[in-house]
Amino acid sequence: MESSAALSWLLSEDHAEEVRQTIASAEIVISSELTLIECDRALVRGVALAVMTEAAAADLRRLLAQAAEHWDLLRLDQEIIERARRPFPREPIRTLDAIHLASAIIARSLVPGIGLLSLDQKIRECAQDLGFEVLPG
């Protein structure tokens, strides 16, 4: 699962229900540690910009932690970093997006046929070019 989908679910934004249903119906959810970092940073940013209270952010951090207990998290290891440094089918790709895509490629080597959950159009297009089923459909 990529950060745009996780944030949509966590913050109850557009497509949150589709993301929730996709996660709930998955046999396995694999995500990069980067997803958790980006979610936490969005909560920090929300408090700093007075978009949410610290109490609301704490509730969302707790919800994220509870959900992530059921996910398999990929560490940002050398293999992911090396893959992220190489080109992707639809360049230019931003750095963090390259890390998400590299993580998905590594996840697919562990779980053949795994889909990629993202709401980011550039990541979705690149993932399709890489042969992933892109979710939500």
Would you place residue 137 in the very low, low, confident or very high pLDDT band (cuts 50, 70, 90)? confident
Give the residue-averaged pLDDT of 113-135. Answer: 97
Whether pTM exceeds 0.75: yes
CATH value of 3-135 in 3.40.50.1010, 1.20.120.1200, 3.30.420.40, 3.40.50.720: 3.40.50.1010
Amino acid at 8: S
What ranges do the domains of the chain cover?
A: 3-135
- Write down the pLDDT at residue 85: 98
Give the residue-averaged pLDDT of 105-114. Answer: 96
- The DSSP annotation for 32-100 comes to EHHHHHHHHHHHHHHHHTTSS-HHHHHHHHHHHHHHHTTSEEEP--HHHHHHHTS--SSS---HHHHHH
Would you place residue 83 in the very low, low, confident or very high pLDDT band (cuts 50, 70, 90)? very high
